[in-house]
C-alpha cells in the first residue's frame, strides 16, 4: 500500500512538480493546507521558494510551525525542500534582518559568500557513506537555486551532506524522522527521483 504524503500548501514552493515527483516515487500524494491531514499522513513535505521571512509568514498562516514541531516530537517523518529546509533552523538573516525559524535545529541561514549569486544550477554533493537518502546516488549532480544557506552545523549528531559554491554549505540533513535538502530533488532528474524514492520507501518502514 502506497504511503500517504502531504505536500503542505502554504502559498510557497513548487507544489505540483513536487506532487508529480512524489507520485512517481511511489507515494499517494495530496497538496493541502489541511492541518488534520498534514498531521496524520505518513510523510509531510514542506516545500519553499523565495525569501525566508515570507515563507515563515505563510507557514504561520496555516499553523505550519506548530504542525512541524508536533510531528517531529512524535517521531513522524518530515521532509523540507529548499527554503523548506532553511525554515527548520532557528533563524534566517536576509538583508540585515534576522527572522525566527521553526527551530527544529539550531543554526542560522546566512548569505552565501560566492562570486556569483544566486547559486543556480547543478552541483555535486558530498554525502556520508551511511546515508539512506543518497543510497545509490553517489557522484550525481542536483539542482540548486538559492543565495542563502546554513554554513555551520551546531546541532546534535546527524548525517550531514555538504556542497560548495564559493563557501561550503549544508546540502542535506538526515536527523531521525526529519530530512531536508537545500537543492530541489523534484527538479534533479534521475538522481532526484531516486532520492525521493529512497525517502518514500522509508515511510513504509515507519
Active site residue 82: yes
Told to judge if 174 belongs to the known catalytic residues of this protein, a careful annotator would answer no
Q: Which residues face 5 on adjacent strands?
A: 29, 43
- Identify the active-site residue in 119, 146, 165, 184: 184
Buried b / exposed e across 146-182, counting CB within 10 Å, b at 16+?
bebbbbebeeeeebbbbbebeeebbbbbbbebbbbbb
Instruction: Judge residue 116's burial from the number of C-beta atoms within 10 Å of its C-beta, 0-12 exposed, 13-18 middle, 19 or more buried.
Output: exposed
Radius of gyration of the chain (CA): 15
C-alpha cell recorded at residue 44: 509531510
- Write down the catalytic residue from 41, 82, 140, 146: 82
- CB neighbours (10 Å) of residue 51? 18
- Which of 19, 140, 174, 186 is labelled catalytic? 186
What lies within 8 Å, CB to CB, of 157 at 6+ separation is: none
Q: Choose among 154, 159, 64, 70: nearest CA to 109.
A: 154
The answer to whether 41 is a known catalytic residue is: no
User: Which residues are marked as active site?
Assistant: 82, 184, 186
Amino acid at each position: 500500500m502506497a504511503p500517504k504524503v502531504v505536500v503542505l500548501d502554504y502559498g510557497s514552493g513548487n507544489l505540483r512538480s513536487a506532487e508529480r515527483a512524489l507520485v512517481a516515487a511511489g507515494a499517494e500524494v495530496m497538496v493541502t493546507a489541511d492541518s488534520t491531514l498534514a498531521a496524520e499522513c505518513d510523510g509531510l513535505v514542506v516545500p519553499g521558494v523565495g525569501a525566508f521571512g515570507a515563507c515563515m509568514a505563510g507557514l504561520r498562516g496555516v499553523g505550519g510551525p506548530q504542525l512541524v514541531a508536533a510531528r517531529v516530537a512524535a517521531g513522524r517523518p518530515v521532509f523540507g525542500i529548499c527554503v523548506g529546509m532553511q525554515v527548520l533552523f532557528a533563524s534566517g538573516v536576509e538583508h540585515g534582518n534576522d527572522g525566527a525559524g521553526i527551530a527544529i535545529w539550531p543554526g542560522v541561514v546566512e548569505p552565501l559568500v560566492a562570486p556569483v549569486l544566486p547559486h543556480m544550477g547543478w552541483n555535486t554533493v558530498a554525502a556520508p557513506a551511511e546515508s539512506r537518502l543518497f543510497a545509490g546516488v553517489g557522484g550525481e549532480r542536483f539542482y540548486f537555486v538559492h543565495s542563502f544557506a546554513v554554513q555551520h552545523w551546531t546541532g546534535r549528531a546527524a548525517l550531514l551532506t555538504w556542497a560548495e559554491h564559493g563557501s561550503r554549505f549544508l546540502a542535506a540533513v538526515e536527523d531521525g524522522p526529519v530530512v531536508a535538502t537545500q537543492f530541489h530533488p523534484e527538479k534533479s532528474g534521475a538522481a532526484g527521483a531516486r532520492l525521493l524514492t529512497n525517502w518514500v520507501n522509508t515511510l513504509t518502514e515507519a
